[in-house]
């Protein structure tokens, strides 16, 4: 896909992978809807930087776990830019619950995790179909290696991302007749703001130890960054028109 003049929605784009992707898409001439749920300041900073560089972007608030918010996000893209060509379902949430603590994994945690990570991706994708039908389009899911391993922040998180992998493949099969491709990226640990905020970012922090463990156990000796993940998403959008239903792992070989 040639990106100049196209329009993309990125959910959860106020920081991390979403923000990095917004900058990369805008640099190629794509007009970007930067969705956020709570981080208004971060989303507006992303848009301001894109605008300052000569691009076009708009910040749109919305919780993808709420279907009516998804409707509003897609409508905002059409109202501002008149079309939709790329959707990246990047928004995600988790609650840390040790896997052996089954009683701590409450119904509320399950519902919130599934609504944002799985149902939100379905709502957004379903809404994207109609505006993409005219000329085809690309949908990319941000999944996780937790979807294919027994490790992750909670059992609910692992299950939601495994469901997202299945959704990727079933939507790819369903939407191919419209020329809409659906793929997913499966990052491992991401060396970015979320990790620093979760585990602390100093040299002696819990995150420093976690990062070293990942580096030591990966063939390539590298913990991926938001920019690394964004580049893989870009490759799925701009690459072959005949790649669909694929789950692309980006973890420097950690899961090998």
Q: How far are the Cα atoms of 141, 143, 186, 227, 232 from residue 148, in angstroms, in the given order?
A: 15, 10, 9, 23, 19
Spatial neighbors of 68 by CB under 8 A, at least 6 apart, are none
Q: What per-residue confidence (pLDDT) applies to 211?
A: 85
Q: Are residues 150 and 210 in the same domain?
A: no
Q: pLDDT tens digits, residue range 133-176?
A: 988 999 999 999 999 998 999 999 999 999 999 999 999 999 99
Residue 203 in this model has a pLDDT that exceeds 90: no
DSSP label of 100: T
Q: Are residues 161 and 240 in the same domain?
A: yes
Q: Are residues 83 and 102 in the same domain?
A: yes
Residue 200 in this model has a pLDDT that exceeds 70: no
Contact 43, 36 (CB under 8 A): yes
Active-site positions read 157
In this prediction, what percent of the chain has a pLDDT beyond 70? 96
In sequence order, the β-bridge partners of residue 186 are 249
The token pair at 208 is 């420093």
Signed CA dihedral, 131, 229, 30, 243: sign only:
negative
Question: Quick one: which of 140, 204, 145 has its CA closest to 172?
Answer: 140
The token pair at 101 is 């603590």
Q: What per-residue confidence (pLDDT) applies to 192?
A: 79
Helix axes 155-175, 120-132, angle to 10 degrees: 20
- CATH number of the domain at 178, please: 3.40.50.720
In this prediction, what percent of the chain has a pLDDT beyond 90? 89
Quote the CA–CA distance of 130 and 207 in Å, as a whole number. 43
Residue 11 lies in a domain: yes
Q: Are residues 144 and 238 in the same domain?
A: yes
Q: What is the DSSP string of 199-237?
A: H--STTSHHHHHHHHHHHHSTT-----HHHHHHHHHHHH
Who wins on pLDDT, 206 or 227? 227
Length of the chain: 256
Binning pLDDT at 50, 70 and 90, where does residue 201 land? low
In sequence order, the β-bridge partners of residue 139 are 87, 182
Who wins on pLDDT, 221 or 197? 221
Residue 72 in this model has a pLDDT that exceeds 70: yes
Number of domains observed in the structure of the chain: 2
In sequence order, the β-bridge partners of residue 34 are 10, 59
Residue 205 in this model has a pLDDT that exceeds 80: no
Q: How many C-beta atoms lie closer than 10 Å to residue 227's C-beta? A: 15
Q: What per-residue confidence (pLDDT) applies to 91?
A: 97
Q: Summarize the confidence of residues 78-85 as an average pLDDT.
A: 98
Mean pLDDT of the chain: 95
Q: Are residues 55 and 103 in the same domain?
A: yes
Q: pLDDT tens digits, residue range 184-199?
A: 999 999 997 777 676 6
Quote the CA–CA distance of 82 and 129 in Å, as a whole number. 15
CA 252 to chain centre: 18
- pTM (predicted TM-score): 0.95
In sequence order, the β-bridge partners of residue 170 are none
> 212: domain range?
192-223
Q: pLDDT tens digits, residue range 90-130?
A: 999 999 999 999 999 999 999 999 999 999 999 999 999 99
Q: Which residue has the tokens 């996000």?
A: 73
Q: Are residues 198 and 183 in the same domain?
A: no
Q: Are residues 218 and 175 in the same domain?
A: no
User: Strand 31-36 and strand 137-142: pairing?
Assistant: unpaired
**3 state SS for 68-113:** HHHHHHHHHHHHHHCCCCEEEECCCCCCCCCCCCHHHCCHHHHHHH
Q: What per-residue confidence (pLDDT) applies to 193?
A: 78
Residue 18 lies in a domain: yes
Quote the CA–CA distance of 216 and 223 in Å, as a whole number. 10
């Amino acid at each position: 896909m040639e990106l100049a003049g196209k329009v993309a929605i990125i959910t959860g784009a106020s920081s991390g992978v979403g923000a990095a992707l917004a900058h990369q898409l805008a640099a190629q001439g794509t007009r970007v809807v930067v969705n956020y749920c709570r981080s208004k300041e971060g989303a507006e900073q992303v848009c301001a930087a894109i605008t300052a560089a000569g691009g076009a972007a708009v910040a749109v608030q919305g919780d993808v776990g709420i279907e009516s918010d998804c409707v509003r996000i897609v409508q905002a893209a059409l109202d501002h830019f008149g079309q939709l060509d790329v959707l990246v379902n990047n928004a995600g949430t988790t609650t840390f619950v040790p896997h052996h603590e089954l009683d701590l994994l409450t119904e509320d945690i399950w519902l919130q995790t599934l609504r944002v990570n799985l149902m939100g991706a379905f709502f957004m994708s379903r809404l994207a179909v109609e505006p993409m039908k005219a000329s085809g389009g690309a949908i990319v899911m941000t999944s996780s290696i937790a979807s294919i391993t027994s490790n992750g922040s909670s059992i609910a998180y692992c299950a939601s991302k495994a469901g997202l992998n299945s959704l990727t493949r079933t939507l790819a099969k369903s939407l191919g007749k419209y020329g809409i491709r659906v793929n997913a990226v499966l990052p491992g640990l991401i060396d970015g703001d979320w990790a620093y905020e979760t585990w602390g970012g100093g040299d002696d922090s819990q995150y420093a130890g976690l990062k070293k463990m990942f580096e030591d156990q990966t063939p390539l000796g590298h913990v991926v960054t938001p920019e690394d993940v964004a580049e893989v998403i870009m490759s799925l959008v701009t690459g072959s028109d005949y790649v669909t239903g694929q789950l692309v792992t980006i973890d420097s070989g950690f899961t090998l």
